[in-house]
Structure 1
């Protein structure tokens, strides 16, 4: 269980806050929300916090499954303890198929890549696998048409204007992009996207930084954009969305694609509503996703720090 929880620390999260804690006792791992790492301005409802925890939950499930341990997850098991998001136990043992081994390897290889993608289309067969991965976790992945991409671009632009105009957002952004070297979390400025024209703007994590790399020509012309949605819009649905996002990201990484989740268009209610129009009101948008071929597969994306070892894990006795 401890090894699975350690693997889950590789999960992406809103502003790389890693807002979860694991409590392991006997044969049970409890996944708990850490509201000390909640973003009050960006995420007042804790939607993105719980979605991030769902990504960590799926990472842990994959880490267990890949070693032959069949995990049994109970989600939101205690209505009187809403911060207890899930419990995880090993139900049985069975040889792991090769596909699970590939996803397990992808946990270490996956990084959010905000750099421009290659001028090369994403294979449709791979996109079909991404849709299937989301569906298997109880969510839907809506791949946008070119005309819908323009609407997503307008939504991302509007979300950026709205958030940057909020002093509380700017304070929160500065806090999480200027973390100490030993904190193990946050979004270092070197991971920020280069500026330049794109069909869909990427969140600017360094709006006031000088001497930024600039791409003068249009990029991401062959990037694909998708919206992950769920039937509900409550903590259970947010957790499901996180597990589905993890499945999509790991599948994409295993297929040598680059990805970057886009939560800014969800954080602003007006643009979130616009995304629901794009999906034909068939569900509630949980996060948008940018997908493409890496421009240079020999140069990994800049990485954000992670808590190491058992920093987010406690072990206790069940009788304590």
Structure 2
């Protein structure tokens, strides 16, 4: 578990809001996103950081409705507000997603002094340590129920819900993932889009480099092959036997709900990292209507599935290469 440390330079208690916001936005650069598109940009002015969706980075084939684009922006928003809170200032967030995409998704301001909880300090420390690990996870240890309960609480605190699949529900997830893979790989437009985002020029600072993609191996639930035919990352000796699969879901299915799902995803990923878990956001099972409907059935149709997170024990002795990040907001 991380010690509750925070960069004292992040937010000076009496410093200008613009400087504090710039530091928080910098912390948000570490946020994960679909295909590592980082589909957001921040506008800093007059003590406000506006979060905008970058529609030029939307995946036209994988994400035609912009669900995963907005969700990715929500992850970045949560990272930024955790950075402000952990440094002892109150993060003031106004959310106003416009279904017509005419304005920003949210605004972040710096409020007065704030006493962060240890969980917030640890979550901030986890921003730098968290990374996506697509390798099969180790088979030695189950995740404690208490830890899973904390992850559910983290999702709830961010405005969404988390359902951890029971073992008897995992085969249905396997069918959903396999079906989504068959549907997408049969579409030439998908293959072209995948190729674009796995073969990015180095200065771009985005995408999923081939060396971070894991070679396909048999596992309980298949994961996306980001580099078909290429020699990607060695899968290691894990089996995913004790991996757990959690569905982030919301009560509604609109832009505001997608943003909340992103904030909840960030909260879950950071809390999992704090508690020593490896994580892998899985979006392919929400990218096709049939797969998404199967997930909804697993939720007894009480909510709308927005993302799946694979959780388990990684292999610290074999670190995963870092995916690139853009240099600015």
Same-fold status (TM-score > 0.5): yes
Report matched runs for 1:20-99 at 5 Å. Answer: 20-76=40-96, 82-99=102-119
Alpha-carbon distance in 2 for matches of 1:86, 1:110: 24
Structure 1 residue 181 displacement after superposition: 1.1
Counterpart contact for 1:186–1:305, Cα < 8 Å: yes
- Give the aligned partner of residue 286 of structure 1: 306
Say which SS state the counterpart of residue 42 (structure 2) adopts.
Answer: strand
Alpha-carbon distance in 2 for matches of 1:154, 1:16: 25
Corresponding position: 1:275 with 2:295: yes
2:136 to 87, 96, 116: 116
Alpha-carbon distance in 2 for matches of 1:259, 1:70: 28
Alpha-carbon distance in 1 for matches of 2:91, 2:33: 22
- Give the aligned partner of residue 185 of structure 1: 206
Alpha-carbon distance in 1 for matches of 2:227, 2:284: 15
Higher relative contact order (CA 8 A, sep 6+): 1
Alpha-carbon distance in 2 for matches of 1:210, 1:95: 48
Alpha-carbon distance in 1 for matches of 2:45, 2:238: 53
- Give the aligned partner of residue 198 of structure 1: 219
After superposition, the CA RMSD in angstroms is 1.6
Counterpart contact for 2:249–2:307, Cα < 8 Å: yes
Distance 1:150 1:6, change over 3 A: same
- Give the aligned partner of residue 146 of structure 1: 167
Q: Which has the higher mean CA deviation after the structures are superposed, 11-20 or 204-213?
A: 204-213
Counterpart contact for 1:262–1:287, Cα < 8 Å: yes
Structure 1 residue 194 displacement after superposition: 2.6
- Give the aligned partner of residue 132 of structure 1: 153
Counterpart contact for 1:111–1:303, Cα < 8 Å: yes
Corresponding position: 1:303 with 2:322: yes
Structure 1 residue 210 displacement after superposition: 4.7
Structure 1 residue 3 displacement after superposition: 0.5
- Give the aligned partner of residue 234 of structure 1: 254
Distance 1:304 1:218, change over 3 A: closer
Q: Which has the higher mean CA deviation after the structures are superposed, 30-39 or 118-127?
A: 118-127
Show structure 2 runs of 5+ residues with no match: 1-20
- Give the aligned partner of residue 26 of structure 2: 6
In the TM superposition, structure 1's runs of 4+ consecutive aligned residues that sit over 3 Å from their partners are 77-83, 210-215
Deviations 1:51-95 (A, max 9, x none): 000000000000000111111111116677634100011222123
Structure 1 residue 109 displacement after superposition: 0.3
Say which SS state the counterpart of residue 182 (structure 1) adopts.
Answer: helix
